[in-house]
Amino acid sequence: PDVAGERIAVEGRVLDGLGAPVRDMLIEVWQADPHGIHPHPADPRAADVAPGFAGFGRVATDFDTGAYRIETVKPGPVPGRHGRMQAPHLSLWLAARGVNVGLHTRLYFGDEDNDADPLLAMVDPPARRGTLVAAAAGGGLYRFDIHLQGDSETVFLDV
């Protein structure tokens, strides 16, 4: 609560291939602070992370609706491989009964310049990139539904 930066909330639902809510999904969130620093030993700037910033959280979907809500600070751009900058994003890991392997995806922000992000550039066909972008709803709120299967399936990463 004491970390400086733009306060945001992400709301959405996790849906199965038929559009029904997934009632027992656990979502882990990993992210950088507002300056693009991860509080992790692999980040050479970890000692400079914003005081009080954990960079990690968990939320479960609502049993009746499959809805979730994440409250955090908006992350900054993160250096990637070969010095290429990654657009601000949240890394999401999903687990539930019946999902044998955790699912990994990203949430990018629709009010950012995502064109140069190296991971988004690899998503083919390009029309599928939109499944990784949250819609800005105003007042620091973003909407991001996660579709496990079907025509609107969210892009999941093989990590």
Tens of pLDDT, residue by residue over 87-114, are: 999 999 999 887 778 999 999 999 888 9
pLDDT digits (tens, 9 = 90+) for 50-65: 999 999 999 999 999 9
pLDDT at 114: 95
Across 11-24, average pLDDT: 94
What does the pLDDT look like over 65-83, one tens digit per residue? 999 999 999 999 999 888 8
Mean pLDDT of 20-46: 95
| Alpha-carbon distances of 58 from 28, 37, 49, 123, rounded to whole Å | 4, 19, 20, 26
CB atoms within 10 A of CB 13: 19
pLDDT at 138: 95
pLDDT band at 1; cut points 50, 70, 90: confident
User: What confidence score (pLDDT) does residue 2 get?
Assistant: 85
Taking the C-alpha atoms of residue 3 and residue 33, their distance in angstroms, rounded to an integer, is 9
